[in-house]
Chains A and B, each alone.
Chain A
Amino acid sequence: MTEPPAVANPEVAVPSEFAELASDERIAVASAALERNGIRPLLAATGADARGLVRSVLTDGAEVYNNTSQTLEAIGVADDIERSGRYQPLRLRLYRMDREMQRREMRTLAASPDYVVGSVHALTEDGSLLIASASGSQLGPLVSGAGHVIFVIGAQKIVSDVAAGMRRIYEYCYPLEDARARQSYGVPSGVNNILIINKVMTPGRVTAIIVNERLGF
């Protein structure tokens, strides 16, 4: 893993502008833009509503990979995927595999799930989605490997444009994620890869659930 490009210090305050919920008007603008870009928008008033929407989109018995996401953990979606028995949770299947003998199987399994459920770091008012990743392993399935993609997005992640989205990643998400990774895994994080989804060419493949609650970071 390469070292992060910026110094992260969890004690440093992050800009509060990126923690504020977007107004209903901005949510409506972003939602309409997503639809124009081929992404199905769904609106949820609460995290509990969003959890129900995720359940309604997922197919029972499907292979589902839940991306590392504070949002998914906070609203119970990670529990649903890994523990409900309704799906084939790929994280559990990957975790138990032999790192020496099953590397190839791990790679192929992680690359092409039926569903990926995750979040984003920024949603712009013109309907672009920005996702940063330290390892990058979760980005390939989002772009094309997964059959379907479901994003759950707290409304504080709505920004004006891509430039503001990049600022949100570097100045807000990264310090918080780095602190979390050091505490949870004992390793630093890093803005090593950034995916920007401007438009989706396969109708219905990507669903974005915007939640009118501050979820994740």
Chain B
Amino acid sequence: MDRTAPMSMFDYDARPVTPLPVIVGTTASRGAYAIRDFLSRNGYPFEWVDAGQPEAVRAVLGVAEVEPSALPLCILPDGSRLASATVEQVADGLGMVAAPARSEYDLTIVGAGPAGLGAAVNAASEGLRTVVVEAVAPGGQAGTTSMIENLLGFPDGISGSELATRAVVQARRFGAELLLARPLAGVSADGPGYVAELSDGTLVRGRAVLLASGVEWRRLEVPGIDDLLGAGIYYGAGPSEALACTGSRVAVVGGGNSAGQAVVRFSRYARQVTLLVRGRDLGASMSQYLIDHLSAIPNVEVRVRTEVVGLEADDRLRALVVRSGDGEPVRLPADALFICIGGTPRTDGAAGIGLATNAAGYLVTGGDAAGDPGGSWPLDREPLPLETNMPGVFAAGDVRCGSVKRCAAAIGEGSMAVALVHRRLAEVGGD
């Protein structure tokens, strides 16, 4: 999407003929990165113009310089401009923010990752009035994965973004609604059902709720790291940044499949990719096919028992200081660091309703929920499998305590949850 890059014939045929939104900003801007990341993860094509390139700026704005306070600047397809643009403004300007079409749903699904979309397809296909609310973009963590090679039915693999795109099309075809770009602000009881409130005040009434909100990347504790967010430091696999990493030195922190997938993607663009793993080996956390794949890529280095202990930067990241085992800290030149470690369960919006979690914050379900220390389970029956300690509130995928952190498992849990939702709806009547 670099306007100055030479165009292949494939680009010639794949390029939209109608205007794209244009984002003008600096490469070191956190706000500009947030917009790029948001659009990229939503599969919304855009053009990126580096404000430090006068000719590129002139080509879209007619002048060579932009007032810094106006950055990031977004030019919408209709020609209107958003100065100092935010993700919310861009999403609204592009018509990505929709209101719910119904006054009540049978099932409100929170999160449009593999678990949420798996549930949406199954629920809508079985006739349930289904809505999915998603804070950022469909696909969840899997949506940023470069190539999933072990998902049943895709012998040549499928990219996370394509899987998410197909799942959204499939869910919508069955009648499910998706409300994007607004996080869940809260959930409250509403008779036998629940009302979900989104960050913009939108209310979504559902007879049952499925929390499939997944996890967010765990923060890396290194001095000064927050100042470099978007300026060389990125959480997640950063698909929007792959092209910008051409010829550069990239480091990825993490030992799971997401980290491995990020390394595969960046190895196609970057001069050198270094995977930094805290554990002794990758086998405990990464699929063997990915480990084999990484070992065969010549510009990939894997360093185990290694941690990031410091950063060197001017206006953006220039190098890491890493320590392996008990050794001395050493300098590792790096233009970008992608952090794909662990996960923190994303339960913020639903926390206030009194959901039981384990010590790490994952939602407790099934038999474990019945015996939660608060003794809050109110019914004579036991909680259904995947049901939390709140009747009619279910959990599936990475956010659930005890879940297997794999895409296929999340899809399966989402599908399974729908069968349990039917039982709950029959219990409260009207199913």
Contact = CB atoms under 8 A, between A and B. Distances in A.
A134 interface: yes
B324 interface: no
A135 B9 contact: yes
Interface in A71-112: 72-73, 78-79, 82-83, 85, 88-89, 91-102, 104-106, 110
A186 B385 CA distance: 60
B7 A185 contact: yes
Interface string A162-202: 00000000000000000001000111000000000000000
A1 interface: yes
Interface in B373-388: none
Contacts of B239: 98
A137 B10 contact: yes
Interface in B261-283: 264-265, 268-269
Most chain-B CB neighbours within 10 Å: which of A61, A93, A106? A93
Contacts of B44: 96
Instruction: For chain B, give the interface size range.
Output: 35 or more
Contacts of A101: 146-147, 159, 264-265, 268
Nearest to A108: B156
Chain A interface, DSSP helix/strand/loop, else mixed:
mixed
A82 B94 CA distance: 13
Contacts of A137: 9-10, 13
B165 interface: yes
B43 A93 contact: yes
A119 interface: no
B268 A83 contact: no
Nearest to A186: B7
B162 interface: yes
A101 B144 CA distance: 12
Interface in A36-80: 61, 66, 68, 72-73, 78-79
B13 A68 contact: yes
A95 B268 contact: no
A124 interface: no
A135 B8 CA distance: 10
B12 A187 contact: yes
Nearest to A98: B242
Nearest to B147: A101
Contacts, number: 95
B17 A68 contact: yes
A106 B10 contact: yes
A156 interface: no
A95 B9 contact: no
B69 interface: no
B14 A106 contact: yes
B77 interface: yes
Chain B interface, DSSP helix/strand/loop, else mixed:
loop
Nearest to B265: A101
Most chain-B CB neighbours within 10 Å: which of A61, A78, A97, A134? A97
Given A96-B40, A137-B13, A102 B162 contact: yes
B18 interface: yes
A212 interface: no
B77 A88 contact: no
A91 B77 contact: no
B158 interface: yes
A155 to B, nearest CB: 23
Nearest to A73: B17
Nearest to A88: B169
A189 to B, nearest CB: 9
Contacts of A187: 7, 9, 12
A31 interface: no
Nearest to A66: B17
Contacts of B10: 99, 106, 135, 137
B14 A104 contact: no
B43 A61 contact: no
Interface in B1-33: 1, 6-18
The 9 closest A-B pairs by CB, nearest first: A94-B14, A100-B268, A135-B9, A82-B18, A95-B45, A96-B45, A101-B146, A91-B16, A137-B13
Interface of B: 1, 6-18, 40, 43-45, 77, 95, 146-147, 156, 158-159, 161-162, 165, 169, 172-173, 239, 242, 264-265, 268-269
Interface of A: 1, 61, 66, 68, 72-73, 78-79, 82-83, 85, 88-89, 91-102, 104-106, 110, 134-135, 137-138, 181, 185-187
30 contacts: A61-B173, A68-B12, A73-B17, A78-B17, A82-B18, A89-B16, A91-B14, A91-B16, A94-B14, A95-B45, A96-B40, A97-B161, A98-B239, A99-B11, A100-B269, A101-B147, A101-B159, A101-B264, A101-B268, A102-B159, A102-B162, A105-B158, A110-B13, A135-B9, A135-B12, A137-B13, A185-B12, A186-B7, A187-B7, A187-B12
